[in-house]
C-alpha cells in the first residue's frame, strides 16, 4: 500500500470522527489481515444468503464465561470427588496428565455445595445457581466437553476461532459470512463485553475478529453501561443534509479507490460500508439497546434493579439488550462475562473459589434464567440458541489450598433453544477430570451451532492463500444426539 | 419428555458407556512420552491440506497429501503394535491407512465424490483415536 493511500485513509478516518459519524471500530479493527481475501459478493458482502438447508435457529446468544467456571461446582455433580476430598489424586488418573500452570497438582478438592436434581430432565445443579436450576428443562447439558490448550488465550482462541493462534475468524464472523445480514440497519455480529478485570473483554478483539475473512464480517463491540455506543448522535452543528452530503462524497471517493486503485481491498470496503451502517444505526441502534421501554416486570425478571451497585445489573442489562437484538434479527450476540467489581478478576478461581464463584454466580444466575424465561414467553427461544460456554473447565484437584486449576480435559457446556433437545449428554470420569463419553470438542460445538443455523460446516468454505478454509478446520461433527 | 430419553438410555447405553470408559481409562495408562510428535504434526498439516485439495479438485496435491497421511498412519500402526495392549489404536491406524489409500486412488481417477466421502471417514477415524489416546495440547 502506498504512503499516499495511508494518508488518505487517515484523512477519511479523522473526517469521519470529525463529522460525528459512528465509529464502528469493531468492524474495522480486530487486527484483520485480509490481503488475499475477496468478499462473497463485491456489491454487498452482507447481502442475505440462503442457508444450506432449513434452519432451526435464527440467532445465537453466546454466553462466554471468560476465565472458566468450575463445572464441578455448578453442573457436574461428583459424589466420588466429595468422598475423596483431601486425598491425593489417584495414580490411575495421573498418567499422561500434563499440567501447564504453576500450581501443580494438589489434593482432590470438593467445595461445600448442596446439589439437587431439577425438572423433568432431572439435571443436577448446585446451590450456586438456584435461578438457572428452574430452567433446566430448556437446556441440553454437554458434560463431556474437552479442548486443547490450558491457557486462557490459546483456549479462548480455539473456542471462538478453532485456531490456537490469532488470525482465524470467529464463529460469529463465519455465521455472518455464511448467511449475511437479516437486518441491514444493525451489525450482524454484536459483542457485549461486561464487567471489569482482564477477562472483561474476554482476551481481546482476536476472539471476535474476522481473521482472514473480509473485515466487514468482524464483530462490533458495544460498551457496557448506559452509553453502549459513543458518538451516536449527529453533532448539533452539522445538519442532516450536510452529514448525508459528506457521506455521499466519502462513498464516491471510497468506491473510486476500491474499484480503480485497490480492487479487492476488503478493509477499505468494510470501512466504506461502516460509514453507511453507522448512518443507518444513528436511527436504529439507540432504540435497539434502549431499555427504557422495557417493563418493570421484565427488568425484574433479569435482575436489573435501580441501584448501581447491584451485582446483576450490568450483566442483566447486556442480556436484555441481547434479547432486543435477537428481536431485531441480529444473528450472533457474543456476551462476555467480566467480574462485576474489583473484588475478583473473572471466573478464574485459582484461589478462593468460594468467594470467586459466589460473586460470579450471583452475577449471571438470575439474568440468564431471566433471559431463558423471557425468550420462551415471547416465542423466541424456539429460534434462538443460547450457549453457555467457556475456554475450559477447572480441575477436581485443588490449587493453592482453596482454588482450582484449568481443566481442558473435561467440562460442561450447555445449549438451550434453537431446536436443541433438553437433557444431558456425555460424561466425565468419576472425579470430573476427563471427558469419557459423549465427547464434544469445540469443533463439534461450532459444527452443531452452524447446523442449527442451516449451515453445513463442511460446505461453508473460504479460499485463503490458496487453501480452502472452514470454520471448524478439518474437524467437527454435529452432535446429533441433542438435536430435537 | 425428550430429555428423559437422553438421560435414560437403558442397558445398552450403560454397556456402551462402560465400554467407552474402559477405552478411556486404558488410554490414560499408556506411556506416550516416546511418541514422535513430528509425524503427527506432519499428518495434521497434510489432513488440512488434503481437505483444501479435495475442495478445490486438486488431484495431484490430494494424492501427495493422502500419501503423507498413509505413511504417517503406517508409522503410528507400527508404534502402537510395539506398545502392545492397544489393539484399538492399531486397528484405527490401519483403518486410516486404508482410507488414505482410497482417497489417493479416488483423487487420482478424479472421483472426488468418493474421495470427499472417504475423507470424512478418515477424519472421524483420526478423531476416534485422538479422543482415546491423544493428550490435549497445552
Question: What are the extents of the domains in chain A?
Answer: 15-482
The DSSP call for residue A115 is E
Mean pLDDT of B106-117: 95
List the CATH code of the domain at B31-133.
1.20.120.10
Find the CB nearest B24 among A436, A481, A482.
Answer: A436
Backbone angles phi and psi of B135, in degrees to 5: -70, 145
Q: Do B3 and A421 touch (CB under 8 A)?
A: yes
What pLDDT is recorded for position A201?
64
Nearest to A59 by CA among A288, A332, A318, A324: A332
> What single string gives the DSSP state of each residue in A36-99?
T---S-SS-TTS----SS--S-SEEEEEE-TT---GGGTT---HHHHHTTTSPPPHHHHTT---
Whether A5 has a pLDDT exceeding 50, the answer reads no
CB nearest A474 (choices: B24, B25, B47): B47
Which of A9-18, A122-131, A249-258, B44-53: highest mean pLDDT?
A122-131
User: Residue A343's CB: how many other CB atoms inside 10 A?
Assistant: 12
User: The C-alpha cell of A216 is what?
Assistant: 466487514
Q: Give pTM, 2 decimals.
A: 0.84
**pLDDT greater than 80 at residue B61:** yes
- Buried-state track A162-172, b at ≥16 Cβ within 10 A, e below 16: beeebebbbbb
- Across the range A33-56, mean pLDDT stands at 68
* Chain A partners within 8 Å of B125 (Cβ): none
Going by pLDDT thresholds of 50, 70 and 90, the confidence category of residue B18 is very low
Instruction: Calculate the average pLDDT of chain A.
Output: 87
Q: Does A212 touch chain B (CB under 8 A)?
A: no
Cell (9 digits) for A323: 434479547
User: Which residue would you say has higher pLDDT here, B44 or A98?
Assistant: B44
Say how far residue A311 (Cα) sits from the centre of its chain: 21
Per-residue pLDDT for B13 more than 50?
Answer: no
Q: Is the pLDDT of residue A152 over 70?
A: yes
- What's the average model confidence in pLDDT over A182-191? 94
Q: Is the pLDDT of residue A82 over 60?
A: yes
How sure is the predictor about B14, in pLDDT bands with cuts at 50, 70 and 90?
very low
What pLDDT sits at residue A14? 38
β A123-126/A115-118 pair status: antiparallel
Neighbours of A187 (CB within 10 A): 30
Is A126 strand, coil or helix?
Answer: strand
Average pLDDT over residues A154-160: 95
Has the ipTM of the complex gone over 0.90? no
pLDDT of A375 > 80? The answer is yes
pLDDT digits (tens, 9 = 90+) for A302-348: 999 866 668 898 999 999 999 999 999 999 999 999 888 888 889 99
pLDDT at A198 (0 to 100):
60
User: Does pLDDT of A419 surpass 80?
Assistant: yes
Kindly state the cell numbers that stand for A351: 484461589
Residue tagged 473447565 (cell numbers):
A393
Report residue B96 CA to chain centroid gap. 6
Residues in a beta bridge with A394: A406
Residues A208, A212, A215, CA angle at the centre, nearest 5°?
A: 60
CA distance B122 to A477: 13
At B55, which helix (H) or strand (E)? helix B37-55
Q: What is the mean pLDDT of residues A479-483?
A: 98
C-alpha atoms less than 13 angstroms from C-alpha of A6 in its C-beta half-sphere: 3
Is a pLDDT exceeding 60 seen at residue A81?
yes
Of the two residues A31 and A433, the one the predictor is more confident about is A433
What does the pLDDT look like over A314-325, one tens digit per residue?
999 999 999 999
| Rounded CA separation A423/A99 (Å) | 32
With beta carbons under 8 A apart, name residues in chain B contacting A427. 17
pLDDT in tens, A193-203: 998 766 656 67
How many angstroms separate the CA atoms of A436 and A143, rounded? 9
CA nearest to A315, candidates A367, A359, A355: A367
> At A469, is the pLDDT very low, low, confident or very high (cuts 50, 70, 90)?
very high
Long-range (24+ apart) CB contacts under 8 A made by A478-482 are A478/A444, A478/A447, A478/A448, A478/A451, A479/A142, A479/A425, A479/A440, A479/A444, A479/A445, A479/A447, A479/A448, A481/A425, A481/A438, A481/B6, A482/A140, A482/A142, A482/A415, A482/A420, A482/A421, A482/A423, A482/A425, A482/A448, A482/B6
Q: Do A427 and B17 touch (CB under 8 A)?
A: yes
Assess whether pLDDT exceeds 70 at residue A227. Answer: yes
Please name the helix (run of DSSP H) or strand (run of DSSP E) that holds residue B3, with its range, or none.
Answer: helix B2-7
Instruction: Tell me the C-alpha to C-alpha distance, in Å, between residue A101 and each of A21, A65, A98, A283, B65.
Output: 45, 20, 10, 49, 36
pLDDT score at A262 = 83
b/e per residue, A385-421, with b = 16+ CB within 10 A? bbbbbbbbbbbbbbbbebbbbbbbbbbbbbbbbbbbb
Cβ-based contacts of B115 with chain A (< 8 Å) = none
Range A30-37 average pLDDT: 28
Percentage of chain A modeled with pLDDT above 90: 66
For the segment B68-104, what is each residue's pLDDT rounded down to a tens digit?
999 999 999 999 999 888 889 999 999 999 999 999 9
Cα of B7 to nearest chain A Cα, Å: 6
User: Computed over its alpha carbons, how large is the radius of gyration of chain A?
Assistant: 23
d(CA A104, CA A236): 60
CATH class of A15-482: alpha beta
Q: How far apart are CA B71 and CA B90, in angstroms?
A: 14
R_g of chain B, CA atoms, integer Å:
17
* Nearest CB partner across the interface for A149, out of B31, B120, B137: B137
Buried b (16+ CB within 10 A) or exposed e, A454-472: bbebbebbbebeebbbbbb
CB contact under 8 A, A140 and B6: yes
Q: Which residue of B has its CA nearest to A92?
A: B29
Does the beta carbon of A249 lie under 8 angstroms from any beta carbon of chain B? no
pLDDT at A18 over 60: no
- Band of the pLDDT at A187, cuts 50, 70, 90? very high
Interface test with B, best of A151, A162, A391, A423 (most B CBs within 10 A): A423
A99 in Cβ contact with A405 (< 8 Å):
yes
Amino acid at each position: 500500500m502506498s504512503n499516499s493511500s495511508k494518508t488518505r485513509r487517515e484523512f477519511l478516518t479523522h473526517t469521519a470522527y470529525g463529522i460525528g459519524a459512528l465509529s464502528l471500530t469493531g468492524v474495522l479493527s480486530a487486527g484483520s489481515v485480509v490481503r488475499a481475501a475477496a468478499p462473497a459478493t463485491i456489491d454487498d458482502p452482507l447481502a442475505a444468503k440462503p442457508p444450506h438447508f432449513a434452519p432451526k435457529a435464527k440467532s445465537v446468544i453466546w454466553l462466554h464465561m471468560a476465565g472458566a467456571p468450575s463445572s464441578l461446582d455448578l453442573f457436574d455433580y461428583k459424589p466420588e470427588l466429595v468422598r475423596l476430598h483431601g486425598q491425593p489424586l489417584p495414580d490411575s488418573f495421573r498418567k499422561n496428565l500434563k499440567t501447564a500452570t504453576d500450581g501443580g497438582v494438589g489434593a482432590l478438592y470438593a467445595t461445600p455445595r448442596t446439589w439437587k436434581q431439577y425438572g423433568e430432565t432431572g439435571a443436577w445443579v448446585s446451590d450456586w445457581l438456584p435461578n438457572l436450576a428452574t430452567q433446566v428443562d430448556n437446556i441440553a447439558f454437554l458434560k463431556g466437553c474437552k479442548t486443547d490448550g490450558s491457557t486462557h488465550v490459546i483456549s479462548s482462541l480455539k473456542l471462538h476461532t478453532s485456531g490456537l493462534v490469532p488470525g482465524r475468524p470467529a464463529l460469529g464472523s463465519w455465521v455472518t459470512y455464511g448467511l449475511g445480514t437479516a437486518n441491514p440497519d444493525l451489525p450482524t455480529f454484536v459483542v457485549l463485553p461486561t464487567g471489569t478485570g482482564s477477562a472483561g473483554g474476554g482476551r481481546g478483539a482476536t476472539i471476535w475478529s474476522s481473521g482472514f475473512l473480509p473485515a466487514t464480517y468482524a464483530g462490533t463491540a458495544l460498551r457496557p453501561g448506559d452509553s453502549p455506543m459513543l458518538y451516536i448522535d449527529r453533532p448539533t452543528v452539522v445538519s442532516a443534509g450536510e452529514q448525508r452530503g459528506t457521506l455521499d462524497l466519502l462513498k464516491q471517493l471510497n468506491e473510486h479507490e476500491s474499484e480503480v486503485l485497490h480492487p479487492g481491498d476488503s478493509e477499505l470496503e468494510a470501512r466504506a460500508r461502516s460509514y453507511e451502517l453507522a448512518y443507518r444505526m444513528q436511527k436504529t441502534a439507540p432504540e435497539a439497546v434502549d431499555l427504557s421501554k422495557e417493563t418493570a416486570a421484565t427488568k425484574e425478571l433479569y435482575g436489573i434493579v435501580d441501584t448501581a451497585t447491584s451485582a446483576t445489573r450490568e450483566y442483566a442489562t447486556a442480556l436484555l439488550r441481547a434479547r432486543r437484538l435477537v428481536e431485531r434479527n441480529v444473528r450472533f450476540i457474543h456476551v462476555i462475562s467480566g467480574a462485576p467489581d474489583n473484588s475478583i478478576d473473572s471466573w478464574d478461581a485459582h484461589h478462593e473459589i468460594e468467594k470467586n464463584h459466589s460473586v460470579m454466580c450471583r452475577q449471571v444466575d438470575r439474568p440468564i434464567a431471566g433471559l431463558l424465561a423471557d425468550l420462551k414467553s415471547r416465542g423466541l427461544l424456539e429460534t434462538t440458541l443460547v450457549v453457555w460456554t467457556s475456554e475450559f473447565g477447572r480441575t477436581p484437584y485443588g490449587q493453592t489450598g482453596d482454588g482450582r486449576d484449568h481443566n481442558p480435559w473435561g467440562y460442561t457446556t450447555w445449549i438451550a433453544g434453537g431446536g436443541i433437545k433438553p437433557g444431558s449428554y456425555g460424561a466425565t470420569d468419576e472425579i470430573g477430570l476427563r471427558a469419557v463419553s459423549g465427547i464434544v470438542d469445540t469443533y463439534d460445538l461450532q459444527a452443531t451451532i452452524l447446523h442449527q443455523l442451516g449451515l453445513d460446516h463442511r460446505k461453508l468454505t473460504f479460499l485463503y492463500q490458496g487453501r480452502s478454509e472452514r470454520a471448524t478446520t478439518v474437524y467437527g461433527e454435529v452432535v446429533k444426539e441433542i438435536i430435537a | 419428555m425428550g430429555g428423559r430419553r437422553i438421560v435414560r438410555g437403558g442397558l445398552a447405553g450403560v454397556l456402551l458407556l462402560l465400554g467407552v470408559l474402559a477405552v478411556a481409562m486404558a488410554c490414560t495408562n499408556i506411556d506416550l512420552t516416546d511418541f514422535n510428535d513430528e509425524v503427527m504434526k506432519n499428518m495434521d498439516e497434510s489432513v488440512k491440506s488434503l481437505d483444501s485439495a479435495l475442495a478445490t479438485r486438486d488431484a495431484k496435491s490430494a494424492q501427495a497429501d493422502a500419501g503423507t497421511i498413509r505413511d504417517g498412519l503406517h508409522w503410528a500402526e507400527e508404534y502402537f503394535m510395539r506398545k502392545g495392549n492397544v489393539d484399538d489404536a492399531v486397528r484405527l491406524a490401519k483403518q486410516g491407512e486404508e482410507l488414505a489409500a482410497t482417497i489417493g486412488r479416488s483423487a487420482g481417477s478424479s472421483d472426488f465424490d468418493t474421495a470427499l466421502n472417504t475423507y470424512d471417514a478418515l477424519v472421524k477415524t483420526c478423531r476416534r483415536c485422538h479422543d482415546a489416546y491423544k493428550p490435549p495440547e497445552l
